[in-house]
């Protein structure tokens, strides 16, 4: 008879606990790829923290990414980047702009942005966006598998509407997040076996916004970068961390939170 699951391996994975030094880490030496609407690099909370800014250029069916200087077109990316740097102030942000001024965009461009980040082998990739179009299920699934095999840790926000979105439901190859009313970012939850496994603060979150200002926002988009910021600390402490180990570490920390 074939043994499908090794209980000792499963137990070891669920009990993986990182060195507690990660709590004092700041994300130093870690770069997070933000696939979003861009980032306002001039915002006081983000000055000096943006290491790359590229935007999508569409030529027929071809999407390329070129340097841009007009920052964030919608504010959404700035808000998410600010949450990451609040938790990991020394982390760098690579902004990969795929959304327009309305905060929406083409799913094919989103796919190209994710592929760009994977090809650059960014260790951590934040996806506070997704698509509900079924024709992108397969190509996104394949690309997320490539990301996993390349060692990229991908964190994706669930859809705010009661409808599954991709890639957040691909729980085997990424870390998916939904908002909670918890205020302490260290007290996130992990619900093994759920489609969206992690919960993190995402209600009435104060974030930076365009023009040097701030807004108080609610949504799964803003829960996602809370986990991304904590992962930047973990990766600073454990640079060799694989996507599987990252999820195992989050599971172990969440279990500790619940005890």
Task: Point out the residues that are catalytic.
Answer: 36, 76, 221
Cis before 84? omega within 30: no
Q: What are phi and psi of 190, to 5 degrees?
A: -130, 125
- CB–CB of 11/255 below 8 Å? no
- CB–CB of 175/154 below 8 Å? yes
Rounded distance between C-alpha atoms, residue 75 and residue 152, angstroms: 25
Q: How would DSSP label each residue in 75-122?
A: SHHHHHHHHHHHHSTT-EEEEEE---TTS---HHHHHHHHHHHHHTT-
Rounded distance between C-alpha atoms, residue 97 and residue 169, angstroms: 23
Rounded distance between C-alpha atoms, residue 89 and residue 70, angstroms: 23
Rounded distance between C-alpha atoms, residue 56 and residue 71, angstroms: 13
Per DSSP, 12 falls in state H
């Amino acid at each position: 008879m074939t043994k499908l699951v090794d209980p000792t391996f499963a137990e070891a994975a669920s009990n993986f606990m990182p060195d507690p030094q990660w709590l004092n880490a700041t994300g130093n030496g870690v770069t997070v790829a933000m696939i979003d609407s861009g980032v306002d690099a001039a915002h006081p909370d983000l000055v000096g923290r943006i290491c790359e800014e590229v935007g999508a250029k569409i030529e027929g069916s071809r999407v390329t990414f070129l340097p841009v200087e007009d920052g964030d077109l919608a504010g959404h990316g700035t808000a998410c980047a600010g949450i990451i740097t609040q938790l990991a102030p020394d982390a760098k942000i690579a902004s990969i702009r795929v959304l327009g001024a309305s905060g929406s965009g083409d799913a094919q461009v989103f796919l190209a942005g994710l592929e760009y980040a994977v090809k650059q082998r960014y260790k951590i990739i934040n996806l506070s966006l997704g698509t509900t179009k079924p024709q992108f299920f397969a190509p996104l699934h394949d690309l997320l598998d490539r990301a996993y095999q390349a060692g990229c840790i991908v964190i994706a926000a669930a859809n705010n509407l009661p409808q599954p979105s991709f890639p957040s439901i691909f729980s085997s190859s990424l870390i998916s997040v939904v908002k909670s009313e918890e205020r302490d970012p260290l007290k996130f939850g992990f619900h093994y076996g759920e489609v969206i496994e992690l919960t993190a603060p995402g209600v009435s979150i104060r974030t930076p916004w365009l023009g040097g200002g701030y807004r108080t926002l609610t949504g799964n988009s803003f829960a996602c970068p809370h986990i991304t910021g904590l992962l930047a600390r973990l990766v600073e402490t454990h640079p060799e961390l694989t996507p599987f180990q990252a999820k195992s570490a989050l599971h172990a920390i969440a279990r500790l939170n619940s005890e």
